[in-house]
Amino acid sequence: MRANLTQFAVSAGLAVLAVGCAGGSGTYPSLAMRPVESGAAPSSSTPPAAQPIRPAPVPLAEALPAPGWLADQRAAAQALHTTFIAQETAAARLAAAAAGQPFDSAPHAAAMVALADLDAQRARTASVLAAVDGRAVAAATTLSPDPALAAAQAEIAALLARQDAGIARVWSALGG
């Protein structure tokens, strides 16, 4: 009985506090329906006229890469790919050692870290492709596509496809 009385007293006190909080001080906006909420369109304002979106023109000098830039990008992608191949070999060894091991084992953890490193290396190669893609887009918007850019895109995309296949092989060796 005492527990019920205490519970009633606490409930009554909370109710009194809630009523005190609900007092109208006039500082809050009205919750009455506004004309737009009832479906009535505002009569005083008219929507602005739609303006077509036009991309900013890209100067031709910015669209075309500097003479040595494309060669540098190809060399960077090839160097990153060489590093990837070395890391892939090590990751494959770790994955083979971890195959069949429990998920929380040290060999499995080492293989997972190696896979993460492979993915990070692939991302570096992808960033080089993104830079080449950006230049190709800029050249295309100036109506001066460059066949050398397209060839570099295809070359670097092939490296990325090879890296994707390598990551898939290591995953399958791990049993993932």
Q: Enter the pTM of the model.
A: 0.62
Q: What are the boundaries of each domain within the chain? A: 81-174
**pLDDT: is 61 or 72 the higher one?**
72
122 within 8 A of 162, measured Cβ to Cβ: no
Mean pLDDT of 64-74: 84
- What is the pLDDT at residue 51? 60
**CB neighbours of residue 39 within 10 Å:** 7
How far, in Å, CA of 144 to CA of 146, rounded? 6
Rounded-to-integer distance, Cα 69 and Cα 60, Å: 16
- The pLDDT tens digits of the residues spanning 111-162 come to 999 999 999 999 999 999 999 999 999 888 888 888 999 999 999 999 999 9
Cα 172 to Cα 58, 75, 95, 176: the distances in Å are: 46, 30, 9, 5
